[in-house]
Structure 1
Amino acid sequence: MPFLDVVDPAFDFTSPEALAAQAADWYADSPLGLLVLRYAETQELLRDRRLDHGGDGYLRRNGITSGPIHDWWVPMIVNHDGADHRRLRGLVGRAFTPRTIDLLRPFIRAKAAELADEIEAAGQAEFVDAFANRLPLAVMCELLGVPAEDYATFSVWTSDIGMVFSLAAGGDAAARVERAVAGLDGYVEALIDDKAKHPADDLISDMVAAWRAERTVTREELRNLLVTLVFGAHDNTRHQFSNTMVTFAEHPAQWTLLRDRPELAEQAVREAMRWRPSAATVFRRAAEDFEFRGMPIAAGTFLTMAVQAAQRDPRAYPGGDAFDITAVRTAPLLQFGAGPHYCLGTALAHAELGEALPVLAHRFGPPVIAGEVTWRPAFGIHGPNELPLRFAEPA
């Protein structure tokens, strides 16, 4: 069995080593356990009811058995199945109706234009801070009803909490996640009380009103849902923005094509997510003993779905070794999961990138990386820590 050292800071799921392992078989070994490298097997396992999300097992293998991270992670919606999952999803699902997303589109375009003005005035930008961080944060706060003056506080917490998927990297990841969970828990508690007393036309007010009227969830479950929602609506999307700009910097002709054909925006978003997804891996745990493709898998075994590699699998994406915003790809993306746990925020992330990219492409020439870029670990939520950019003159 090939071995891929995914915890090595230099590891890349699209390296020749990783793609050679994918060509050889559907799986490989790693410090995280079994890696699933191919598209078909990943898609099948994401839908397999014999797997769950791991709950406290994931934290235990990373040395966490109690404390703020444990108290947030274990009761999280993704760690529930069946009736409990449907009950929790029923409350939070009202955030992401097509009508809600469409009503946000003018706000997204206006905010993207405002941030582009600032970049243009500066001449170049550290893109993570100047745009990738600020746009999804503003959209999330607009959707939920979080006061604008709290953006800066939220930004640190909602960025750091995403390190929960990178605990195996060590360092200060656990400390950062713990501080973020504690901060968000306290903030959301106060926000629930405020929205109960002073309801407004926003999602948190709606969820608080439904919680008080229907009593289908406890206050602790409501707080957990809101903390998770705040995190999910920001961190994944900010990394997807940055990943997308890195990709266009590597493929400047595709940027020019998007400028000339803005109708390709939605297709460009899907291709950017396929090529360099923010969720580079997705974790699952065997809830029982079973056999898959002739391999016995014991209950408690963790499987890491190598989404970034799988989304370049030529068996699912003919010609998928090229980034091409004109290509019609029929295989669904994997980074948002599948089945009952398919990510509720998928449509919002697509809308944000789909509205913002044409604004940037119309205003600027192709992005050029203008300095050193460091990255989050290759597993978990993956993207640049910083992204210094300048923009070439339009052709």
Structure 2
Amino acid sequence: MPYLNVVDPGFDFTAPEVFAAQAAGWWAESPLGPLVLRYAETQELLRDRRLDHGGDGYLIQHGVTSGPIHDWWAPMIVNHDGADHRRLRGLVGRAFTPRMVEQVRPFIRETVEALADEVEAAGDVEFVEAFASRLPLAVMGELLGVPADDHDLFSVWSSDIGLIFALAAGGDTVSRVERAVAGLDGYVESLIDVKMARPADDLISRMVAVWRDERTVSRAELRNLVVTLVFGAHDNTLHQLSNAMVTFAEHPAQWGLLRERPELADRAVTEVMRWRPSAASVFRRATEDIDYRGLAVAAGTFVTMAVQAAQRDPLAYPGGDAFDITAVRDAPLLQFGAGPHYCLGSALAHAQLSEALPILARRFSPPVVTGQVTWRPAIGTHGPNALPLCFTRPG
């Protein structure tokens, strides 16, 4: 059975040995347990009710048994199923609607144009800092009602909290996540008080109103939901924007095609998310002993889905070994999960990229990487920590 060391700092889910293992079979061994490499098996396991998100087990596996991370993670919505999950998701769903996402699109476009003005003036930029972090922060602030003066605070907290899915990487990961959780918890607690006293037309005010009217969740659960929303609204979109720029820098002809045919924007976003997803991997835990396609999985075992490799699986995506924004891909993306736990923020992430990419393609030639790109760990939320790019006007 192939062995893939996914916790190695230099590991890459698109390395030749990964696809060799995928061609040989649907799973490989790893330091984290079974690693699922193919699309069909990943999709089935994401929907399998015999697997959950790990609860305390994930933290215990990495030596976290108490403290701010535990107190945030254990009651998080993803760690609830059935009636509890529906109760928590219902509060968010009644406040965070598709109509709200559509209403924020003009703000997204205005923000993209303003940030593009700054990029054009600079020419050479560190893209994560200059654009990828600032766009979702601004959108999050607009939606949630977070004052612009506090965006810099949120930038650090909401990025570091995303390392929760990379605890196996070691180093200072735990301490960074602890600081982020503590900071966001305290801030959101105060923000709830503000929205109770002075409600506005924003998502947190609507969530507070639903909470006060229905009392289906506790105040602690409300705070946890908002902290989780902040994390989801910023970190994943930040890295997806940066991953898009890396991808187009590697495929400049596709950038030119998008400039010529901006109507391809939605398809381009889906293809970027397929090719280089910000959620390069996701995990689940077996709640009972399972025999799945000949693999015996003991209760308590964690199973890691290699989303980035699975989304290039030729069995699911014929011709999927090429990045092509004109292609029609029938198989749905995996990075947002499946079933009852499908990511609530997927539409907002798609909206931001579908507005940003055609504007950037219209205004600039393909991005050029001008220095060393440093990366987050391959496991969990994946993307550049630093992405030096040069943008020039089309000739």
Same fold (TM > 0.5): yes
1:146 is aligned to 2:168: no
Find the aligned partners of 1:65 and 1:225 in 2 and give their Cα distance: 21
Question: How far off its partner does 1:391 sit?
Answer: 2.2
1:291 is aligned to 2:283: no
Find the aligned partners of 1:6 and 1:217 in 2 and give their Cα distance: 38
* Mapped contact 1:311–1:333 kept (Cα < 8 A): yes
Find the aligned partners of 2:378 and 2:6 in 1 and give their Cα distance: 7
Residue of structure 2 equivalent to 1:76: 76
Moved beyond 6 Å, runs of 4+:
none
1:36 is aligned to 2:30: no
What secondary structure, in the 3-state scheme, does the structure 1 residue paired with 2:283 have? strand
Question: How far off its partner does 1:129 sit?
Answer: 0.4
Question: How far off its partner does 1:95 sit?
Answer: 4.3
Residue of structure 2 equivalent to 1:301: 301
Question: How far off its partner does 1:26 sit?
Answer: 0.3
Residue of structure 2 equivalent to 1:207: 207
TM-score (norm 2): 0.99
CA deviation map 1:91-112 (0-9, x unaligned): 0113442211110100000000
Letter in 2 for 1:331: A
Question: How far off its partner does 1:394 sit?
Answer: 2.2
* Mapped contact 2:96–2:203 kept (Cα < 8 A): no
* Mapped contact 1:52–1:285 kept (Cα < 8 A): yes
CA deviation map 1:36-74 (0-9, x unaligned): 000000000000000000010000000100000000001
Residue of structure 1 equivalent to 2:379: 379
What secondary structure, in the 3-state scheme, does the structure 1 residue paired with 2:371 have? coil
Q: What aligned pairs does 1:97-112 form with structure 2 within 5 A after superposition?
A: 97-112=97-112
What secondary structure, in the 3-state scheme, does the structure 2 residue paired with 1:337 have? coil
What secondary structure, in the 3-state scheme, does the structure 1 residue paired with 2:374 have? coil
Question: Unmatched 5+ residue regions in structure 2?
Answer: none
Find the aligned partners of 2:318 and 2:386 in 1 and give their Cα distance: 33
Q: What aligned pairs does 1:1-395 form with structure 2 within 5 A after superposition?
A: 1-395=1-395
Find the aligned partners of 1:323 and 1:96 in 2 and give their Cα distance: 32
Find the aligned partners of 2:373 and 2:48 in 1 and give their Cα distance: 37
Find the aligned partners of 1:366 and 1:211 in 2 and give their Cα distance: 47
Question: How far off its partner does 1:124 sit?
Answer: 1.7
Letter in 1 for 2:196: A
The count of corresponding residues between Structure 1 and Structure 2 is 395
* Mapped contact 1:140–1:230 kept (Cα < 8 A): yes
Identity of aligned residues (%): 77
* Mapped contact 1:2–1:28 kept (Cα < 8 A): yes
* Mapped contact 2:363–2:393 kept (Cα < 8 A): no
Letter in 2 for 1:383: G
* Mapped contact 1:96–1:348 kept (Cα < 8 A): no
Find the aligned partners of 2:96 and 2:292 in 1 and give their Cα distance: 34
Find the aligned partners of 1:60 and 1:247 in 2 and give their Cα distance: 36
